[in-house]
Amino acid sequence: MLAILMIAAELCVSALQSVLYRTLKPEAQEKYLEHKALEEKQRFSWLKAKYAILVGGKPMEEEQEIILDHNYDGIKELDNNLPPWWVYMFYATIIFAVVYLVRFEVIGDYTQAEEYEAAVAEAEIEIAEYKKTAKNLVDVNTVELLTDAADLAAGEAIFELNCVACHKADGGGGIGPNLTDEYWILGGGIKNVFNTISEGGRDGKGMISWKSELKPLEMAQVGSYLLTFEGTTPAEPKAAEGEIWSGADAPIEENAEELNETVVDSLSTVETPEQ
């Protein structure tokens, strides 16, 4: 829309200039054209002058001074100097090479490995600082219990909207388990609770996965809020389910199958029965 408006304005200005030009007397029109020609000639004059200096070529009217005696079927050769910009860059590369040689080969300032390690350390610091303000980057291994009043209020709103039907408003439990006791089916603590909210409960009879509905920050907020129910007294508490949770939060790792590896001594020989 902005481009269309700019084009329309340019067309209007051009049309107005054309109308005004036709209203001028012939003498005034001639002066106007001379002024426009001078203005066009002086446009970008500074840039054109700098370009001519950097290129270093001769104007066409002065090329007779640098024509060589070579003549190939009427094709002549000009003896132009190297463009100054190219010469300056060549000198700059020589200076750079000398400084680099002295700094890294003679003095031994630092190695590429040291430069890489320093860059990685700096990047890790920047990432850590960024994550402090980017709460939506949390996952099950980095999530922490939120205690800020604003986060808990947001978690309460999410809980009342999505969780009350199964856990009741006071956390006493209904279809879902009681959140006020110290028993947990899939483990307590913010990391396990976050993982349960994200991935869902037990197959076929547990809570659905909420990771497609809630953002990581929202799951951390509602998880932190529902942990505040522990130790409270609900109106109609559901019987305890699961086991008592007393462990500290730890990153949840996937169980990997251990493969038994048989090592055969390379010096041993295997005897085969005679045929």
Is residue 104 located within the same domain as residue 190?
no
The 3-class SS string of the chain reads: CHHHHHHHHHHHHHHHHHHHHHCCCHHHHHHHHHHHHHHHHHCCHHHHHHHHHHHCCCCHHHHHHHEEEEEECCEEEECCCCCHHHHHHHHHHHHHHHHHHHHHHHCCCCCHHHHHHHHHHHHHHHHHHHHHHCHHHCCCCCCCCCCCHHHHHHHHHHHHHHCHHHHCCCCCCCCCCCCCCCEECCCCHHHHHHHHHHHCCCCCCCCCCCCCCCCHHHHHHHHHHHHHHCCCCCCCCCCCCCEECCCCCCCCCCCCCCCCCCCCCCCCCCCCCCC
Is residue 102 located within the same domain as residue 185?
no
Is residue 100 located within the same domain as residue 187?
no
Is residue 101 located within the same domain as residue 165?
no
Is 259 a member of any domain? Answer: no
Is 216 a member of any domain? Answer: yes
Write out the chain's pLDDT in tens, 275 residues: 999 999 999 999 989 988 888 888 888 888 888 888 888 878 888 888 888 888 887 778 888 888 888 888 888 888 888 888 999 999 999 999 999 999 999 998 888 999 999 999 999 999 888 877 777 788 888 888 999 999 999 999 999 999 999 999 999 999 899 999 999 999 899 999 999 999 998 887 778 999 999 999 999 999 999 999 999 999 999 998 889 887 655 445 443 333 333 333 433 333 434 43
pLDDT of the residue at 24: 85
Is 274 a member of any domain? Answer: no
Is residue 158 located within the same domain as residue 240?
yes
Is residue 158 located within the same domain as residue 239?
yes
Is residue 98 located within the same domain as residue 177?
no
Is residue 162 located within the same domain as residue 215?
yes
Is residue 96 located within the same domain as residue 166?
no
Structural domain that includes position 189: 149-244
Is 144 a member of any domain? Answer: no
Domain count, the chain: 2
pLDDT of the residue at 133: 73
Is 225 a member of any domain? Answer: yes
Is residue 155 located within the same domain as residue 235?
yes
Is 24 a member of any domain? Answer: no
Is 255 a member of any domain? Answer: no
Is residue 96 located within the same domain as residue 179?
no
CATH number at residue 234: 1.10.760.10
- Total-model pTM: 0.48
Domain end among 55, 86, 109: 109
Is 28 a member of any domain? Answer: no
